[in-house]
Structure 1
Amino acid sequence: MRLFQDLLDQSRQLNQTPHNKKLNLPYHVPNHKYKTIIVGLKVPNLPAPLHYLNFFTAIGVDEFSIFYNESAIQTTALDTAVTLVSSSPHMIGQLNSYSISHECFFNQQEFQFAQREHLSGHFSSLLLERASDELGFELEIEAAKPLNYFSKLRFNLAEHWSLTAFCRGVIVYKQQEYKINEIASFEFARSSYLSYLSCAFYVYQLINIGNEQQIIFVQCRNTLSQLMYSRIYFKNIEKQNIQYFDEDVEFHIRRLYPKIKTPNNQFMYLPREFEWSYSNENLSIVLEGHSRGDFKFGLGAGFVGSFYYTLKVNDEIFEGASGYGEYIDCRDLKWQEQNKEDEMMKKFEQAVPLMFKK
Structure 2
Amino acid sequence: MSDLQTVELGPIAHGGHCVARIDGRVVFVRHGIPGEQARVRVTDDSKPRFWWGEVVQVIEPSPDRVTPPCPIAGRCGGCDFQHVSLARQRRLKAEVVEEQLHRLAGIDRDVVVEQVPGDDEGLDWRTRMRYLVRDGKIGLRAWRSDDLVELPEGGCRIAHPDGPVDLGNYASGDGDLQVTIADGTCTVLGPDGQVLEGSEIVIQHVRGRKYQVRADGFWQVHPGAAGVLTEAVLEGLKPRATERALDLYCGVGLFAGALVDEGCRVTGIEASRSAIELAKLNVPQAKFFATRMEKAGSRLPKKTDLVVLDPPRTGAGAQVVKRLAQLDARAIAYVACDPAALARDLATFAKCGYRLDALQAFDLFPMTHHVECVAILHADA
Question: Where on the TM-score scale, by shorter chain, does this alignment land: which range?
Answer: under 0.3
TM-score (norm 1): 0.25
Say which one has the larger Rg.
2
> Whose helix fraction is larger, Structure 1's or Structure 2's?
2
TM-score (norm 2): 0.24
